[in-house]
Structure 1
């Protein structure tokens, strides 16, 4: 997400009332999170996740100005009839079942949980979470040998969280040097949803979507590989829960996903609905929607108001629609 224009929008947000700003003609509001936890999670340093109290406070604010709608409502265009929002969560972390879902059920809020099918049942660990775990260990106890090894590949404690899937073997080797056993961590911590938890979420009325198979950076892989990632993850998902709405959220961002890929997804009916992460924006494809990443540094309300101001500025400039 571009920083300067959004930072400017945030800086002028106190001059705009929430009622006026959120009451204007904007796309359906699609906030998304990853995890909610009161615990310190050593494998998640790559975004500022919320604790339970913060999450409830943010939900309460959203509910003042927006009406929750289901994924099916969004697919069928019903959200355009009112100031609506649809909530979603990425990466398929177990806290979605243990912490998030009970809150949403109590509050009557529908949501979609997007899972990486390679990680279900704690079979593998996301490369960004591997990097986070390594950084957590190095912050706690610096290790010259491991840090020298990482530096050989341009990775330091300052930038390791930017490590990409192509560098996963480097992360694995660094973990070995630090006596980190990712398989043991997966078995003990169980950071991901199990198949049974996913089925339970679906039985409780939540939507389940795919978030790719193993969370690659799509802008680094070919168009054919992008389509294959979508197909494979959707096929795994359909075997698991047979979703009523076939939904896919692009990992990291849809920037770098060409129109041809989206057209193929639609023409081959691989998905009914897809999502990017460009914030509050329109999109050239009527089945492809842009979501707003809530887990950002800074004040939640100021960030949110700034995002809607940014949309108004882009609309005034004729640039409020993502083009592929």
Structure 2
């Protein structure tokens, strides 16, 4: 059978939108979506897939809501809306942001892209820094070559937007990429990282509170890296560290779930996850319903639907 799994990130009042370049869902629209879903589905959680055993009929007419990145939106706006409708959800958190209070690179990129109306300005400053720091000698590619490789538009981004995201997510080596991003970020974003952390991310106490309220938690990695691009030992470190933090405020018997950051994983990732007791994993390979095989003891590659495709999903375009 197939299960709809919806993927959310930011959910906040319209006046708090960071930028039209990000898929920040308006809170009123989220509430409308919940009302529609509550009429048609029963809300479920990841662990309930395992509890179903071999009887797939218990999962019929279910829907699973998932939220990535551990934003404060989950406790400030999402939880009240869920409780009002007797609904529940799963939150996948990158534990470095929550427990070590560090601003993730992926969030820095969101803030960077929201800092100016002209992405061309960001590209120009990035080009200048790349030249001044002689990064071509380290990376092995010119800035123009990087643009050709990374500036490929997709359904979510135009060429410039996707270039900046890929440049600061995928450039190797990682240490060079992080320093590069920090320089450009500080040029455009005139605020301390610590102030952003407190504004954007939940705290460990928030996670514990949500868990006690019935919200399910899983890992989104520790530092939200592209797992498939990391050596095996670094992947082990990412996931081991993340679960160690999660275990301090949530139940280790129910938190062994994973949403692969950026949807990036490999067979090595799957084997590492299995070794850590993970039986449920969600991916992002386009707008697809998850295919469930109830004779299996694990579900490590369940597809999710980005919430930007909600209307198409409700119109049964993915059936």
Shorter-normalised TM range: 0.7 to 0.9
Measure how far apart 1:132 and its partner are: 2.2
Q: Which residue of 1 aligns with 2:136?
A: none
Measure how far apart 1:213 and its partner are: 0.2
Measure how far apart 1:49 and its partner are: 2.0
1:214-233 counterparts in 2 under 5 A? Answer: 214-233=223-242
Change (3 A) 1:96 1:85: same
The DSSP-based 3-state class of the residue aligned with 2:114 is helix
Q: Which residue of 2 aligns with 1:149?
A: 128
Q: Which residue of 1 aligns with 2:210?
A: 201
Task: In structure 1, list runs of 5 or more residues that go unmatched.
Answer: 1-25, 310-324
| Correspondent of 2:244 among 225, 235, 239 | 235
Q: Is the 8 Å Cα contact of residues 122 and 186 (structure 1) preserved in structure 2?
A: no
Q: Deviations over 1:251-306 (max 9, x none)?
A: 1114x411x4323432x34324222223313278633241423333xx63225546
| Correspondent of 2:114 among 132, 136, 144 | 136
Q: Which residue of 2 aligns with 1:314?
A: none
Q: Which residue of 2 aligns with 1:71?
A: 46
Task: In structure 2, list runs of 5 or more residues that go unmatched.
Answer: 132-142, 152-159
Change (3 A) 1:263 1:305: farther
Does 1:185 find its partner at 2:195? yes
| In structure 1, C-alpha distance between the alignment counterparts of 2:306 and 2:180, rounded to whole Å | 30
1:1-324 counterparts in 2 under 5 A? Answer: 26-38=1-13, 39-42=15-18, 47-77=22-52, 80-81=56-57, 82-120=60-98, 123-139=101-117, 142=121, 146-149=125-128, 152=131, 153=143, 154=146, 157-158=160-161, 159-162=163-166, 163-164=168-169, 166=174, 167-178=177-188, 180-186=190-196, 190-245=199-254, 246-254=256-264, 256-258=265-267, 260-266=268-274, 268-278=275-285, 279-282=288-291, 286-296=298-308, 300-305=310-315, 308-309=318-319
Cα RMSD over matched residues? 2.9
Q: Is the 8 Å Cα contact of residues 282 and 300 (structure 2) preserved in structure 1?
A: yes
Change (3 A) 1:130 1:261: closer
| In structure 2, C-alpha distance between the alignment counterparts of 1:232 and 1:111, rounded to whole Å | 23
Q: Is the 8 Å Cα contact of residues 215 and 251 (structure 1) preserved in structure 2?
A: yes
Measure how far apart 1:150 and its partner are: 5.7
Give TM-score scaled by structure 1 length: 0.74
* Alignment: residue pair count: 277
The DSSP-based 3-state class of the residue aligned with 1:241 is coil
Change (3 A) 1:283 1:46: farther
Change (3 A) 1:107 1:300: same
